[in-house]
Amino acid sequence: MDYHNVYNYHYNRTFYAVKSIFIDEFKKAKGKNRPFLSMANNILRQLNHFRDQKFEARLKEHAVKSYLVFLDRYSYYEGEKSEVISWVLENEALENFSKSSKYPYSSFIEDLAIRECLNEVGRHYGNYYDYYQLIYKHGCYDYFYLKDFVDCSFKGSLEYESMSSEGFDNNQEIVASFKGDDDLQVLENDDYKSQYDIGD
């Protein structure tokens, strides 16, 4: 089994589902004239709760040794993010995994990928708070990437400059590049869980 492909599949599926959920929540809140601060904090709180209570709890319950090895993966390997993930899943995490018919290794990788994606989305969203505030203000959802910009801070991006300008034109086309594009090969609501199929 190609563990890295399983990981990438679940990571990517979660990423696109969460991105859609965030945009839907932004639009709903904007339609109800909710303040950005309340809406943004609520989304982040739900995201963190969902990550911790569902995925992190299950990882700790069924595969704590493998989970801790994965979290410490950069002490085992140096290299590109995708390579390190692949190596640790094929070696140390697998070696420390307690086999169980109720929780197979593929389920561990799925939960791990979803947890890591939710964690990365939360980190990014918190760091790009001002950027998403402008998206909320202007309704510029084409700029909603949930990825870090390459070679500049978000405040140096064309998107941010465009939305910050007085005569903002949300039809202006902007091309962006991101960190981690190579690796890309709310949440308690049952409607979202079934619509976007994030975990079981």
Q: What is the mean pLDDT of residues 188-194?
A: 47
User: Whole-angstrom Cα distance, residue 101 to residue 177?
Assistant: 43
65-79: per-residue pLDDT in tens? 999 999 999 999 999
Least confident range of 110-114, 131-135, 166-170: 166-170
Q: Which residues contact 72 (CB under 8 A, 6 or more apart)?
A: none
Averaged pLDDT of the chain: 86
pTM as predicted: 0.81
User: Whole-angstrom Cα distance, residue 8 to residue 184?
Assistant: 7
80-100: per-residue pLDDT in tens? 999 999 999 999 999 999 887
39-48: per-residue pLDDT in tens? 999 999 999 9
DSSP H or E run through 21: helix 3-31
The pLDDT, as a whole number, for residue 6 is: 97
| 28 phi/psi in degrees, rounded to 5 | -60, -45
